[in-house]
Amino acid sequence: MGPHNAQLYTVVFPIEEGKGGDRRLLLGLKKRGMGVGRWNGFGGKPEPGESLDACARRELEEECGLRTRRLQYVGVLLMSGTDCPDLTIFVYTARDLEGDVAESDEMRPRWFGEGEIPYDGCHPEARLWWPGMLGGERFVARFTFGRDGGVEHDIQPADDARLAELESLARP
C-alpha cells in the first residue's frame, strides 16, 4: 500500500494559536460525500496536473472560505481495508489564516478548543493521530480497517526526507 497505487487526497486542519498556548482547531461537519455526518479537516482530490500543496489550498478555500499564508505538510495517512479502496491522504496544518469562515455546500465549519474536539463524531482513527498532529508531530500512519469495524494501526514519526519521499511517489 502506498501513494502510487491508491486514491490520493489532501486534508487541511486550520489551527489558531491563542493566548497562553491555547489552540483552536477548525473542523467541518461533512454534509455530503465520503465521511458524511462526521467532523474532519478540509480537503479532497487533486485535479489533473495540480500539486498536492495547491490542492490543499484550493480545498481549504472552497470548503470553508479561508486562505493561509502558512501551510505545513505534516504527515501521510495510508489507509486500506477489505471493504474500501486504498487511500493515501497528505495531511497539512494551516496557520496565519485570511478570510472569513463560511459554510459551503460540502462542509459546516466550527472552531473547537483542543479539549473540545468531538472525537465521537469523527472518523474512528482520528483520536489516534490528531493529538500528535496538534502537538506538532510529523508522522506516517498506516490504518487497516477490518470488516468487524476494528482498526489496526501503526503510527511512526517522520522526518522531512521520509515525507518528501512519499510526496514524490504521488506526483504524476
CA Rg value for the chain: 15
147 or 25, greater pLDDT = 25
Cβ atoms of residues 119 and 127 within 8 Å:
yes
Whole-angstrom distance, CA of residue 44 vs CA of residue 52: 10
Whole-angstrom distance, CA of residue 118 vs CA of residue 27: 10
Cβ atoms of residues 40 and 30 within 8 Å:
yes
Query: What is the model's pLDDT at position 151?
Result: 84
Average pLDDT estimate for 132-148: 92
Residue 169 predicted with pLDDT over 60: yes
Whole-angstrom distance, CA of residue 126 vs CA of residue 110: 17
CATH number of 3-169: 3.90.79.10
Q: pLDDT digit string (tens) for 13-48?
A: 999 988 777 899 999 999 998 889 999 999 999 999
Q: Where are the beta strands (DSSP E) in the chain?
A: 7-17, 23-30, 39-40, 42-44, 67-81, 84-98, 107-113, 139-145, 151-157
Would you place residue 1 in the very low, low, confident or very high pLDDT band (cuts 50, 70, 90)?
very low
Whole-angstrom distance, CA of residue 20 vs CA of residue 168: 38
Residue 157 predicted with pLDDT over 50: yes
Whole-angstrom distance, CA of residue 47 vs CA of residue 44: 9
Kindly state the cell numbers that stand for 41.
479537516
Among the listed residues 27, 47, 46, 30, the one whose alpha carbon sits nearest the alpha carbon of residue 94: 27
Query: What is the model's pLDDT at position 134?
Result: 93
Residue 147 predicted with pLDDT over 50: yes
Among the listed residues 131, 156, 114, 134, the one whose alpha carbon sits nearest the alpha carbon of residue 72: 134
Whole-angstrom distance, CA of residue 54 vs CA of residue 36: 24
Per-domain residue ranges for the chain? 3-169
Query: What is the model's pLDDT at position 18?
Result: 80
Q: pLDDT digit string (tens) for 49-100?
A: 999 999 999 999 999 999 999 999 999 999 998 777 899 999 999 999 999 9
Among the listed residues 170, 171, 160, the one whose alpha carbon sits nearest the alpha carbon of residue 75: 160
